[in-house]
């Protein structure tokens, strides 16, 4: 697979951070996905969202459409995901997402994914082989030491060299050891879904 090259990683590189909101596990329904456009780790440039099925198979397609339909798409340089699974076990195939958007993908986890546990959990779901293949497509898991903060995260990537991914992670992690676009996507997605739930009562 070809990779995008970054001769220089600018401080204001436009990245899209993607996370999901609160949802009821193992219950049919939709979950909200939020994408946050950030200039490096400096400031917020835009927000986008979509809905995916809880434990469904539509995350890759829906996220790709959300990005391609956004007016921010031409300025984006990298997509960052909070892990590979959204809304339960709706797995994003990062190789396919790269092919569809032509943007490098970096999937970040706070804890090292336990692939054996994930494989066991997938046994209880339909299309388990398709989900597991999407997990395997993400390739090797790299540990990223975040320097002075003493923190560490784990990353998998598609369409980008490891050294460039590490540079982008470090440039965009300005307020914690999580890239700012992902940190803010998490806050917005959680807030939106909490508001929606409280408005029902």
- pLDDT bin (cut points 50, 70, 90) of residue 196 is low
Which pLDDT value is given to residue 201? Answer: 44
| CA–CA distance, 38 with 174 (Å, rounded to integer) | 12
Range 14-196 has CATH code 3.40.50.2020? no
Domain limits of the chain? 14-196
Which pLDDT value is given to residue 21? Answer: 86
65 in Cβ contact with 127 (< 8 Å) = no
CA nearest 178: which of 135, 201, 144? 144
Which pLDDT value is given to residue 49? Answer: 96
Which pLDDT value is given to residue 150? Answer: 67
Q: Is residue 27's pLDDT more than 90?
A: no
122-143 per-position pLDDT tens digit: 998 999 999 999 999 999 999 9
Q: Is residue 200's pLDDT more than 60?
A: no
Which pLDDT value is given to residue 69? Answer: 98
42-85 per-position pLDDT tens digit: 999 999 999 999 999 999 999 999 999 999 999 999 999 999 99
142-193 per-position pLDDT tens digit: 999 987 666 899 999 999 999 999 999 999 999 998 999 999 999 999 887 6
Which tokens sit at 100? 């569809």
- Burial (CB < 10 A; 0-12, 13-18, 19+), residue 75, is middle
Which pLDDT value is given to residue 64? Answer: 98
């Amino acid at each position: 697979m070809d990779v995008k090259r970054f001769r220089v990683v600018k401080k204001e590189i436009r990245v899209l951070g993607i996370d999901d909101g609160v949802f009821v596990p193992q219950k049919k329904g939709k979950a909200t996905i939020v994408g946050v456009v950030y200039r490096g780790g400096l400031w917020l440039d835009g927000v986008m969202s979509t809905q995916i099925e809880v434990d469904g198979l539509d995350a890759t397609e829906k996220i790709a459409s959300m990005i391609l339909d956004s007016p921010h798409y031409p300025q984006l340089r990298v997509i960052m995901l909070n892990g590979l699974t959204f809304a339960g076990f709706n797995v994003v195939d990062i190789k396919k997402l790269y092919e569809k958007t032509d943007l490098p993908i970096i999937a970040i986890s706070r804890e090292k994914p336990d692939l054996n546990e994930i494989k066991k959990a997938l046994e209880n779901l339909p299309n388990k082989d398709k989900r597991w293949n999407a997990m395997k497509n993400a390739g090797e898991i790299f540990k990223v030491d975040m320097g002075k903060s003493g923190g560490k995260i784990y990353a998998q990537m598609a369409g980008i060299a490891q050294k460039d991914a590490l540079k982008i992670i470090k440039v965009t992690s300005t307020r914690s050891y999580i890239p700012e676009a992902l940190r803010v996507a998490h806050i917005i997605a959680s807030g939106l879904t909490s508001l929606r739930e409280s408005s029902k009562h």
